Amino acid sequence: MYPEPAPAAIVSSPVVFESAPGLVAPAAFPPAPSTPTATSSTATFSAALGLVAPAAEASASNPETTVILHVSLIVRNRFQTAANSFGLWKEYLFRPSYDPDVLISANDLYRPYASTIIADDDKQEEDSGSRNKSIELLLRWQNSGSLAKSDDEINHLVYDVLYNPGFQLEELGKFNAKCENRREDAHREQSAFLQSFQHASVDIKVPSGSSHTPSQKFLIPGLCYRRIVDLIKEVFESPISLQFHLSPFKLFQKHPDGDDNERIYSEMYDSDIFLEEHDKVQRASTGDPYCKQEKVVVALMFWSDATHLATFGIAKLWLIYMLFGNLSKYIQCQPSSGATKHLAYIPPFPDLLQDQLKGFHHKWNSQHKDILAFCRCELMHEIWKLLLDDDFLHMFHSGMVVHCYDGVQRHVYPQIFTYSADYPEK
Protein backbone atom coordinates (compact mmCIF):
# COMPACT_ATOMS: atom_id res chain seq x y z
CA MET A 1 0.00 0.00 0.00
CA TYR A 2 1.18 3.45 -0.87
CA PRO A 3 0.80 6.31 1.61
CA GLU A 4 -1.95 8.79 0.83
CA PRO A 5 -0.66 12.04 -0.71
CA ALA A 6 -0.69 15.17 1.40
CA PRO A 7 -3.58 17.59 0.77
CA ALA A 8 -2.88 20.32 -1.75
CA ALA A 9 -3.74 24.02 -1.33
CA ILE A 10 -4.26 25.82 -4.65
CA VAL A 11 -3.47 29.54 -4.69
CA SER A 12 -4.94 31.32 -7.72
CA SER A 13 -3.55 34.72 -8.66
CA PRO A 14 -3.81 36.69 -11.90
CA VAL A 15 -0.67 37.95 -13.60
CA VAL A 16 -0.87 40.62 -16.27
CA PHE A 17 1.48 40.48 -19.23
CA GLU A 18 1.34 43.38 -21.64
CA SER A 19 2.59 42.74 -25.13
CA ALA A 20 3.91 45.48 -27.34
CA PRO A 21 1.73 46.67 -30.22
CA GLY A 22 2.11 44.36 -33.15
CA LEU A 23 3.20 41.37 -31.04
CA VAL A 24 0.95 38.37 -30.71
CA ALA A 25 0.78 36.43 -27.43
CA PRO A 26 1.37 32.68 -27.63
CA ALA A 27 -1.81 30.78 -28.45
CA ALA A 28 -1.19 28.07 -25.87
CA PHE A 29 1.15 27.27 -23.02
CA PRO A 30 2.76 23.95 -22.13
CA PRO A 31 0.40 21.79 -20.06
CA ALA A 32 0.97 21.46 -16.36
CA PRO A 33 2.46 18.20 -15.06
CA SER A 34 -0.04 15.55 -14.00
CA THR A 35 1.18 15.59 -10.38
CA PRO A 36 2.31 19.14 -9.58
CA THR A 37 4.30 19.73 -6.43
CA ALA A 38 5.74 22.76 -4.70
CA THR A 39 9.36 23.08 -5.84
CA SER A 40 12.06 25.63 -5.30
CA SER A 41 11.41 27.10 -8.76
CA THR A 42 7.73 27.59 -7.88
CA ALA A 43 8.66 29.31 -4.65
CA THR A 44 11.14 31.54 -6.47
CA PHE A 45 8.52 32.46 -9.10
CA SER A 46 5.86 33.20 -6.48
CA ALA A 47 8.27 35.31 -4.48
CA ALA A 48 9.13 37.32 -7.56
CA LEU A 49 5.45 37.98 -8.19
CA GLY A 50 4.70 38.81 -4.56
CA LEU A 51 2.25 35.93 -4.21
CA VAL A 52 3.76 34.10 -1.27
CA ALA A 53 1.53 35.37 1.52
CA PRO A 54 -1.45 32.98 1.06
CA ALA A 55 0.86 30.03 0.38
CA ALA A 56 3.05 30.76 3.38
CA GLU A 57 0.03 30.91 5.67
CA ALA A 58 -1.26 27.56 4.35
CA SER A 59 2.07 25.79 4.80
CA ALA A 60 2.67 27.31 8.23
CA SER A 61 -0.69 26.16 9.55
CA ASN A 62 -0.31 22.64 8.14
CA PRO A 63 3.25 21.44 7.34
CA GLU A 64 1.82 18.34 5.59
CA THR A 65 0.03 20.49 2.98
CA THR A 66 1.47 20.72 -0.53
CA VAL A 67 1.01 24.20 -2.03
CA ILE A 68 0.16 24.44 -5.73
CA LEU A 69 0.43 27.92 -7.17
CA HIS A 70 -2.11 28.46 -9.94
CA VAL A 71 -1.23 31.52 -12.00
CA SER A 72 -3.74 33.01 -14.47
CA LEU A 73 -1.87 34.82 -17.23
CA ILE A 74 -3.78 37.81 -18.59
CA VAL A 75 -2.26 39.08 -21.83
CA ARG A 76 -2.87 42.68 -22.85
CA ASN A 77 -2.55 42.42 -26.58
CA ARG A 78 -2.93 46.03 -27.66
CA PHE A 79 -4.59 46.47 -31.02
CA GLN A 80 -4.63 49.59 -33.18
CA THR A 81 -6.83 50.16 -36.23
CA ALA A 82 -5.88 52.09 -39.35
CA ALA A 83 -7.05 55.68 -39.68
CA ASN A 84 -10.27 56.14 -41.64
CA SER A 85 -11.08 58.89 -44.14
CA PHE A 86 -11.71 61.32 -41.25
CA GLY A 87 -8.33 60.61 -39.66
CA LEU A 88 -9.91 58.69 -36.74
CA TRP A 89 -8.39 55.50 -35.38
CA LYS A 90 -8.93 53.26 -32.35
CA GLU A 91 -6.55 51.84 -29.79
CA TYR A 92 -7.74 48.79 -27.84
CA LEU A 93 -6.22 47.59 -24.59
CA PHE A 94 -7.29 44.04 -25.48
CA ARG A 95 -7.81 42.72 -28.98
CA PRO A 96 -11.60 42.88 -29.58
CA SER A 97 -13.61 39.83 -30.58
CA TYR A 98 -15.48 41.96 -33.13
CA ASP A 99 -16.14 45.60 -34.01
CA PRO A 100 -19.84 46.51 -34.51
CA ASP A 101 -18.88 49.63 -36.46
CA VAL A 102 -17.89 47.52 -39.44
CA LEU A 103 -21.50 46.28 -39.64
CA ILE A 104 -22.95 49.76 -40.18
CA SER A 105 -24.55 50.08 -43.59
CA ALA A 106 -25.15 53.21 -45.61
CA ASN A 107 -28.83 53.14 -44.60
CA ASP A 108 -27.82 53.50 -40.93
CA LEU A 109 -26.07 56.81 -41.56
CA TYR A 110 -29.18 58.82 -42.31
CA ARG A 111 -32.64 59.12 -40.84
CA PRO A 112 -35.26 57.66 -43.19
CA TYR A 113 -38.74 59.10 -43.28
CA ALA A 114 -41.73 57.02 -42.26
CA SER A 115 -43.32 57.69 -45.63
CA THR A 116 -41.74 58.38 -49.01
CA ILE A 117 -44.59 60.70 -49.91
CA ILE A 118 -43.79 64.10 -48.39
CA ALA A 119 -46.17 67.00 -48.54
CA ASP A 120 -44.51 70.25 -49.56
CA ASP A 121 -46.72 73.24 -48.84
CA ASP A 122 -44.50 75.57 -50.84
CA LYS A 123 -44.81 73.47 -54.03
CA GLN A 124 -48.51 72.77 -53.84
CA GLU A 125 -50.65 75.02 -55.96
CA GLU A 126 -53.19 76.98 -54.00
CA ASP A 127 -56.15 76.34 -56.23
CA SER A 128 -59.24 75.75 -54.17
CA GLY A 129 -61.34 75.41 -57.27
CA SER A 130 -59.48 72.25 -58.36
CA ARG A 131 -60.21 70.27 -55.17
CA ASN A 132 -61.71 66.86 -55.68
CA LYS A 133 -64.46 65.27 -53.63
CA SER A 134 -62.05 63.34 -51.37
CA ILE A 135 -60.16 66.48 -50.31
CA GLU A 136 -63.41 68.32 -49.74
CA LEU A 137 -64.71 65.58 -47.43
CA LEU A 138 -61.40 65.45 -45.55
CA LEU A 139 -61.30 69.20 -44.89
CA ARG A 140 -64.97 69.25 -43.90
CA TRP A 141 -64.23 66.57 -41.30
CA GLN A 142 -61.23 68.55 -40.01
CA ASN A 143 -63.18 71.77 -39.57
CA SER A 144 -66.09 70.15 -37.72
CA GLY A 145 -66.37 68.69 -34.24
CA SER A 146 -63.21 68.78 -32.10
CA LEU A 147 -60.71 71.60 -32.58
CA ALA A 148 -57.74 69.29 -31.87
CA LYS A 149 -57.47 68.22 -35.53
CA SER A 150 -54.59 70.41 -36.66
CA ASP A 151 -53.11 70.60 -40.14
CA ASP A 152 -50.20 68.40 -39.06
CA GLU A 153 -52.59 65.75 -37.77
CA ILE A 154 -54.49 65.74 -41.06
CA ASN A 155 -51.26 65.36 -43.01
CA HIS A 156 -50.32 62.50 -40.71
CA LEU A 157 -53.66 60.82 -41.38
CA VAL A 158 -53.29 61.13 -45.14
CA TYR A 159 -49.62 60.28 -45.69
CA ASP A 160 -49.06 57.76 -42.86
CA VAL A 161 -52.45 56.02 -42.83
CA LEU A 162 -54.42 56.42 -46.07
CA TYR A 163 -51.32 56.25 -48.32
CA ASN A 164 -49.89 53.30 -46.40
CA PRO A 165 -49.75 50.20 -48.66
CA GLY A 166 -51.17 48.09 -45.84
CA PHE A 167 -54.32 50.19 -45.48
CA GLN A 168 -57.35 48.45 -46.99
CA LEU A 169 -60.69 50.23 -46.92
CA GLU A 170 -62.57 46.93 -47.18
CA GLU A 171 -61.10 45.73 -43.85
CA LEU A 172 -62.87 48.47 -41.87
CA GLY A 173 -66.25 46.80 -42.25
CA LYS A 174 -68.59 47.98 -39.45
CA PHE A 175 -65.88 50.01 -37.72
CA ASN A 176 -66.62 51.38 -34.25
CA ALA A 177 -63.78 53.30 -32.51
CA LYS A 178 -65.04 52.61 -28.98
CA CYS A 179 -65.28 48.85 -29.49
CA GLU A 180 -61.92 48.64 -31.26
CA ASN A 181 -60.18 50.63 -28.52
CA ARG A 182 -61.69 48.37 -25.86
CA ARG A 183 -60.52 45.30 -27.76
CA GLU A 184 -57.03 46.78 -28.17
CA ASP A 185 -56.78 47.56 -24.45
CA ALA A 186 -57.74 43.99 -23.55
CA HIS A 187 -55.13 42.64 -25.95
CA ARG A 188 -52.38 44.87 -24.54
CA GLU A 189 -53.10 43.72 -20.99
CA GLN A 190 -52.12 40.20 -22.07
CA SER A 191 -49.01 41.32 -23.94
CA ALA A 192 -45.62 39.86 -23.05
CA PHE A 193 -44.33 43.35 -22.21
CA LEU A 194 -46.90 43.96 -19.47
CA GLN A 195 -46.63 40.38 -18.21
CA SER A 196 -42.88 40.91 -17.62
CA PHE A 197 -43.60 43.46 -14.86
CA GLN A 198 -43.92 42.49 -11.23
CA HIS A 199 -46.14 44.29 -8.74
CA ALA A 200 -45.19 45.19 -5.19
CA SER A 201 -45.91 47.57 -2.33
CA VAL A 202 -43.22 49.59 -0.58
CA ASP A 203 -42.98 50.59 3.08
CA ILE A 204 -41.46 53.96 3.91
CA LYS A 205 -40.37 54.83 7.45
CA VAL A 206 -41.27 58.34 8.60
CA PRO A 207 -40.15 59.91 11.91
CA SER A 208 -42.79 61.52 14.08
CA GLY A 209 -41.01 64.81 14.75
CA SER A 210 -41.02 64.09 18.49
CA SER A 211 -38.58 62.15 20.63
CA HIS A 212 -41.48 60.64 22.58
CA THR A 213 -43.19 59.07 19.54
CA PRO A 214 -41.44 56.31 17.55
CA SER A 215 -41.24 56.28 13.77
CA GLN A 216 -43.99 54.65 11.77
CA LYS A 217 -44.10 52.81 8.45
CA PHE A 218 -46.57 53.79 5.74
CA LEU A 219 -47.54 51.52 2.86
CA ILE A 220 -47.19 52.80 -0.74
CA PRO A 221 -48.91 50.37 -3.15
CA GLY A 222 -48.81 50.16 -6.92
CA LEU A 223 -45.12 49.69 -7.80
CA CYS A 224 -44.56 48.00 -11.19
CA TYR A 225 -40.99 46.95 -11.95
CA ARG A 226 -38.83 44.57 -13.94
CA ARG A 227 -35.74 42.74 -12.71
CA ILE A 228 -32.46 44.21 -13.94
CA VAL A 229 -30.94 40.78 -14.51
CA ASP A 230 -33.85 39.76 -16.74
CA LEU A 231 -33.52 42.94 -18.79
CA ILE A 232 -29.79 42.38 -19.31
CA LYS A 233 -30.38 38.82 -20.51
CA GLU A 234 -33.22 39.98 -22.74
CA VAL A 235 -31.07 42.62 -24.43
CA PHE A 236 -28.08 40.33 -25.00
CA GLU A 237 -30.37 37.70 -26.51
CA SER A 238 -31.92 40.24 -28.93
CA PRO A 239 -30.58 41.48 -32.30
CA ILE A 240 -29.70 44.90 -30.90
CA SER A 241 -26.80 43.30 -28.99
CA LEU A 242 -24.97 42.98 -32.32
CA GLN A 243 -24.47 46.75 -32.11
CA PHE A 244 -22.92 46.55 -28.61
CA HIS A 245 -19.31 47.63 -28.16
CA LEU A 246 -18.02 44.94 -25.80
CA SER A 247 -14.37 46.04 -26.00
CA PRO A 248 -13.77 49.70 -25.06
CA PHE A 249 -11.09 51.70 -26.83
CA LYS A 250 -9.42 55.08 -27.05
CA LEU A 251 -10.36 57.17 -30.07
CA PHE A 252 -7.73 59.41 -31.64
CA GLN A 253 -7.57 61.76 -34.59
CA LYS A 254 -4.55 62.42 -36.74
CA HIS A 255 -3.98 66.06 -37.60
CA PRO A 256 -3.23 66.83 -41.24
CA ASP A 257 -0.28 69.04 -40.24
CA GLY A 258 1.43 66.10 -38.55
CA ASP A 259 1.18 67.40 -34.96
CA ASP A 260 0.43 65.20 -31.94
CA ASN A 261 -2.65 63.02 -32.10
CA GLU A 262 -5.75 64.33 -30.34
CA ARG A 263 -7.87 62.17 -28.03
CA ILE A 264 -11.55 62.18 -29.02
CA TYR A 265 -14.35 61.57 -26.51
CA SER A 266 -17.62 60.64 -28.17
CA GLU A 267 -19.27 57.67 -26.47
CA MET A 268 -19.37 55.89 -23.14
CA TYR A 269 -17.30 53.00 -24.52
CA ASP A 270 -14.35 55.27 -25.43
CA SER A 271 -14.08 56.78 -21.94
CA ASP A 272 -11.31 56.11 -19.42
CA ILE A 273 -13.70 54.74 -16.79
CA PHE A 274 -14.99 52.10 -19.21
CA LEU A 275 -11.41 51.07 -20.01
CA GLU A 276 -10.60 50.79 -16.29
CA GLU A 277 -13.65 48.66 -15.52
CA HIS A 278 -12.99 46.43 -18.51
CA ASP A 279 -9.42 45.91 -17.33
CA LYS A 280 -10.60 45.02 -13.80
CA VAL A 281 -13.12 42.50 -15.11
CA GLN A 282 -10.39 40.56 -16.91
CA ARG A 283 -8.88 39.82 -13.46
CA ALA A 284 -12.22 38.86 -11.89
CA SER A 285 -12.57 35.27 -10.76
CA THR A 286 -15.32 33.17 -12.33
CA GLY A 287 -14.84 30.21 -10.00
CA ASP A 288 -13.43 28.17 -12.87
CA PRO A 289 -9.65 28.62 -13.37
CA TYR A 290 -9.95 27.16 -16.89
CA CYS A 291 -12.79 29.44 -18.02
CA LYS A 292 -12.10 30.80 -21.51
CA GLN A 293 -15.31 32.74 -22.04
CA GLU A 294 -14.99 36.37 -23.00
CA LYS A 295 -15.49 38.72 -20.04
CA VAL A 296 -17.38 41.89 -20.91
CA VAL A 297 -18.77 44.88 -19.03
CA VAL A 298 -22.34 46.00 -19.60
CA ALA A 299 -22.53 49.71 -18.84
CA LEU A 300 -25.85 50.52 -17.18
CA MET A 301 -27.23 54.05 -17.35
CA PHE A 302 -30.36 54.90 -15.37
CA TRP A 303 -32.66 57.86 -15.72
CA SER A 304 -35.83 58.75 -13.81
CA ASP A 305 -38.26 61.54 -14.47
CA ALA A 306 -41.91 62.42 -14.05
CA THR A 307 -43.73 62.33 -17.40
CA HIS A 308 -47.08 64.00 -18.11
CA LEU A 309 -49.53 61.65 -19.81
CA ALA A 310 -51.77 64.29 -21.37
CA THR A 311 -51.54 67.83 -22.69
CA PHE A 312 -54.43 68.89 -20.48
CA GLY A 313 -54.82 67.72 -16.90
CA ILE A 314 -52.45 66.67 -14.15
CA ALA A 315 -52.10 62.94 -14.91
CA LYS A 316 -48.44 61.93 -14.86
CA LEU A 317 -46.24 58.88 -14.55
CA TRP A 318 -42.94 58.58 -12.72
CA LEU A 319 -40.64 56.24 -14.65
CA ILE A 320 -37.18 54.75 -14.23
CA TYR A 321 -35.47 54.03 -17.53
CA MET A 322 -32.44 51.83 -18.16
CA LEU A 323 -30.07 52.31 -21.08
CA PHE A 324 -26.84 50.63 -22.13
CA GLY A 325 -23.59 52.55 -22.56
CA ASN A 326 -22.28 49.82 -24.88
CA LEU A 327 -24.63 51.18 -27.52
CA SER A 328 -23.97 54.30 -29.58
CA LYS A 329 -25.91 57.39 -28.58
CA TYR A 330 -27.12 57.72 -32.17
CA ILE A 331 -28.91 54.37 -31.90
CA GLN A 332 -30.21 55.11 -28.40
CA CYS A 333 -31.88 58.31 -29.64
CA GLN A 334 -33.87 56.49 -32.32
CA PRO A 335 -37.43 56.07 -30.96
CA SER A 336 -37.93 52.77 -32.80
CA SER A 337 -34.63 51.17 -31.74
CA GLY A 338 -35.98 49.75 -28.46
CA ALA A 339 -32.73 50.72 -26.72
CA THR A 340 -34.46 52.44 -23.79
CA LYS A 341 -35.94 49.95 -21.34
CA HIS A 342 -38.71 50.71 -18.87
CA LEU A 343 -37.39 49.46 -15.55
CA ALA A 344 -40.04 50.65 -13.09
CA TYR A 345 -43.18 52.75 -12.77
CA ILE A 346 -43.02 54.55 -9.46
CA PRO A 347 -46.46 54.92 -7.88
CA PRO A 348 -47.77 58.29 -6.69
CA PHE A 349 -48.61 58.81 -3.05
CA PRO A 350 -52.12 57.64 -2.22
CA ASP A 351 -54.59 60.35 -1.25
CA LEU A 352 -54.91 58.82 2.21
CA LEU A 353 -51.20 59.32 2.96
CA GLN A 354 -51.41 63.05 3.66
CA ASP A 355 -54.32 62.52 6.05
CA GLN A 356 -52.31 59.83 7.85
CA LEU A 357 -49.22 62.03 8.09
CA LYS A 358 -51.26 64.95 9.32
CA GLY A 359 -52.54 62.93 12.26
CA PHE A 360 -49.14 61.34 12.95
CA HIS A 361 -46.44 63.98 12.50
CA HIS A 362 -46.27 66.65 15.20
CA LYS A 363 -44.97 69.36 12.84
CA TRP A 364 -47.15 68.68 9.81
CA ASN A 365 -48.82 72.11 9.75
CA SER A 366 -45.50 74.00 9.50
CA GLN A 367 -43.30 71.49 7.63
CA HIS A 368 -45.63 69.49 5.40
CA LYS A 369 -43.63 70.30 2.22
CA ASP A 370 -40.38 69.10 3.79
CA ILE A 371 -42.10 65.98 5.13
CA LEU A 372 -43.46 65.07 1.68
CA ALA A 373 -40.01 65.65 0.16
CA PHE A 374 -38.55 63.31 2.77
CA CYS A 375 -41.18 60.69 1.92
CA ARG A 376 -40.29 60.90 -1.79
CA CYS A 377 -36.65 60.38 -0.90
CA GLU A 378 -37.45 57.36 1.26
CA LEU A 379 -39.69 55.92 -1.46
CA MET A 380 -36.86 56.19 -3.98
CA HIS A 381 -34.38 54.48 -1.65
CA GLU A 382 -36.76 51.63 -0.86
CA ILE A 383 -37.50 51.06 -4.54
CA TRP A 384 -33.80 50.84 -5.36
CA LYS A 385 -33.34 48.35 -2.52
CA LEU A 386 -35.92 46.24 -4.30
CA LEU A 387 -34.38 46.68 -7.76
CA LEU A 388 -30.82 45.91 -6.62
CA ASP A 389 -31.79 42.41 -5.51
CA ASP A 390 -29.54 39.50 -4.61
CA ASP A 391 -29.39 38.19 -8.18
CA PHE A 392 -28.14 41.54 -9.45
CA LEU A 393 -25.58 41.87 -6.66
CA HIS A 394 -24.28 38.38 -7.42
CA MET A 395 -24.03 39.26 -11.12
CA PHE A 396 -22.37 42.55 -10.22
CA HIS A 397 -19.60 40.87 -8.23
CA SER A 398 -19.22 37.48 -9.93
CA GLY A 399 -20.73 37.99 -13.37
CA MET A 400 -23.14 35.71 -15.19
CA VAL A 401 -22.86 33.59 -18.32
CA VAL A 402 -25.26 34.89 -20.98
CA HIS A 403 -26.01 33.21 -24.29
CA CYS A 404 -25.82 36.14 -26.72
CA TYR A 405 -27.71 36.62 -29.96
CA ASP A 406 -24.65 35.74 -32.09
CA GLY A 407 -24.52 32.29 -30.48
CA VAL A 408 -21.51 33.04 -28.25
CA GLN A 409 -21.61 32.60 -24.48
CA ARG A 410 -20.01 35.50 -22.61
CA HIS A 411 -19.36 36.28 -18.97
CA VAL A 412 -21.24 39.55 -18.38
CA TYR A 413 -20.48 41.93 -15.51
CA PRO A 414 -22.96 44.82 -15.04
CA GLN A 415 -21.57 48.13 -13.84
CA ILE A 416 -23.61 51.25 -13.03
CA PHE A 417 -22.03 54.17 -14.86
CA THR A 418 -24.58 57.00 -14.67
CA TYR A 419 -27.84 57.87 -12.96
CA SER A 420 -29.71 61.01 -13.98
CA ALA A 421 -32.63 62.22 -11.88
CA ASP A 422 -34.67 65.35 -11.44
CA TYR A 423 -35.64 67.17 -8.24
CA PRO A 424 -38.33 64.84 -6.80
CA GLU A 425 -35.72 62.13 -6.15
CA LYS A 426 -33.65 64.38 -3.86
DSSP calls for 151-179: HHHHHHIIIIIIT-TT--GGGTSS--HHH
- By the 8 A CB rule, do 398 and 286 touch? yes
The per-residue pLDDT for 284 is: 85
Judged on CB neighbours under 10 Å (0-12, 13-18, 19+), 72 is middle
Residues in the chain, pLDDT under 50? 1-12, 20, 22-59, 112-128, 130
Residue 142, classed as helix, strand or coil, is: helix
The per-residue pLDDT for 168 is: 84
Size of the chain in residues: 426
- By the 8 A CB rule, do 96 and 408 touch? no
pLDDT tens-digit readout, 60-69? 555 566 665 6
The per-residue pLDDT for 34 is: 42
Helices (H) and strands (E) in the chain, counts: 12, 13
Give the global pTM: 0.69
Among the residues of 190-264, which ranges form H helices? 192-195, 228-236
pLDDT tens-digit readout, 195-231? 889 999 999 999 988 888 899 999 999 999 999 999 9
Q: Chain centroid to CA 42: how far?
A: 44
Q: Of 372, 373, 375, which is closest to residue 383 (Cα–Cα)? A: 375
The per-residue pLDDT for 256 is: 73
Q: How do the domains of the chain map onto residue ranges?
A: 8-77, 199-248+290-425
The per-residue pLDDT for 298 is: 97
Residue 66, classed as helix, strand or coil, is: strand
